[in-house]
Every structure is written in structure tokens, then in C-alpha cells.
Copies of this chain bind each other. A is one copy, B any other.
Amino acid sequence: MVIRALVFDAYGTLYDVQSVRSLAIDLCGDKGEIITHLWRLKQLEYTWLRTLMRSYEDFWSVTRAALEFALSSVGIAPTSSLCDELMDGYLHLDLYAEAPQALESLRDHKLAILSNGSPRMLEALVRSAGIAERFTAVVSCDQVKRYKPEPACYALVEPALQISKQEVLFISSNGFDVAGAKRYGFQVAWIERTGDVPPPQDSQVGPAAFYRLIRGGAEQLGYQPDFRLKRLTDLAAVLSA
């Protein structure tokens, strides 16, 4: 099957959403770790639930609401100044360490991003990381006022890149996004970042391990990726095969 473009998910795939963890620990002390995980879990839930409820708010609003939920849940007042500082961290997430090299090795291919992030958030991300010029298009689901895995989101790629869905290799580390993209009709590579963690021995696991269990495994949603890779730098081998 010919691959004419590689389309990346952003949050969790190119950018490490856990890179707000140290900021959360700086600002919230011992509760920073659990806040980080609750924040991400709720952020995703709210994208799904608001799409289902026909009650769209952009990803900045959803991310802030999820942060307020997380802070309140652990007994910390979600003041404007605290939320502002943590939200600012979301505009400067770290790229995964291997991402610059992976993008460099793919420079001869057409590359794009398809993300839940609002246009402003995505612009800040790619500019902050100095990778804006790598991408033919940075596409935000905000255009359709819905979130992945709604088919309308994936359908934004074809007109943006002037190609058909069968020619797209979609790359995500998020299991639900892998299933949604495959259901839509893309070829899909799953970056399985949490694949090497051994299963727990009992139920005594902390929030970081529980988070990995919730978000790490292959989703049982009836759609499997075409490729299972450990890291973004494995993509070049897929393309040359």
C-alpha cells in the first residue's frame, strides 16, 4: 500500500503530556503526581463527553476544566493564578527525545499533524519546539467542533493534504486514536510507549502505574493497528520496507 503522507497525533505522540509533571510538583507539592494523571485522564474524557453531548468547547477550555477538576478533587483550590501557570506548561510541552531525529529522517515525506489541540495551542507547540517547518499542514479538530475519535476529525486530513485516506499513515501512541483512525480507514502505526512495563504483582499500584494501565494497553475496540512500534524513529524502517 502506497504511503503518501505521515500524519501525527500531537499530545502523547510527538509531545510528552507528562512533561507538566515537574511543574505540577513544583506548584502543588506531594499531590503534583496525582494531579498530572487526573488532569490528562479528565482532559480526554471531556473531549469525548462534550462531543457526545453536542456541547463543544475548544481544547484550551477543556484542558482547563480538566485541570480544575483535578485540583478540586485533591483538595487544592483551582485559583486563576495556579491554573494559569499550569496551563502555560501545556503550551511548552517537551517533544519526546527521539522526535527531532525521527522527523529529520522523514524529511523527504509529506508530514502533517492532526490534533485535538486548538489552533493557538498547536501553533505555540510547534513554534516552541522549532519544528513548524517540517509540516505541510497542522490540522486542528477545532474546525469541525468535535474531537477524536469522531470520523469527522479524521476526515479533515484528505482535503488538507489532497490525498485519499488509504494513502495516509496515521501515527499515534493513544490507543483510542489508533482504533478511531483505523476505523476511519487510515493505515495506522501505534507507538507503544508503555509496552515494556511489566504487569503489576498485586493491586498495590500508585497513580502513575494505574494511569499507565488505563491508557497504555491495546484498546479492545475491534480495530488493530497495522504497525506496532516502540518509538518514532522506527517509522523510517516501516517506510523503506
Which A residues form the contact surface with B (CB < 8 A)?
29-34, 37-38, 41-42, 45-46, 48-55, 57, 65-66, 68-69, 72-75, 147-151, 176, 179-180, 183, 198-207, 210, 213-214, 216-223
Q: Count this chain's copies in the assembly.
A: 2
A-B contact pairs, 23 of them (CB 8 A): A29-B202, A30-B203, A31-B200, A31-B202, A33-B203, A42-B220, A45-B176, A48-B48, A48-B49, A49-B176, A49-B219, A49-B221, A52-B180, A53-B183, A53-B221, A55-B222, A65-B220, A65-B221, A74-B200, A75-B199, A203-B207, A204-B206, A205-B207
**Dominant SS among interface residues on chain A:** helix
Sorted nearest first, the 5 A-B pairs with minimum C-beta distance are: A75-B199, A30-B202, A33-B203, A65-B220, A34-B203
Chain B residues lying within 8 Å of A69, measured Cβ to Cβ, are: 217, 219-220
CB distance from A186 to the nearest CB of B (A): 13
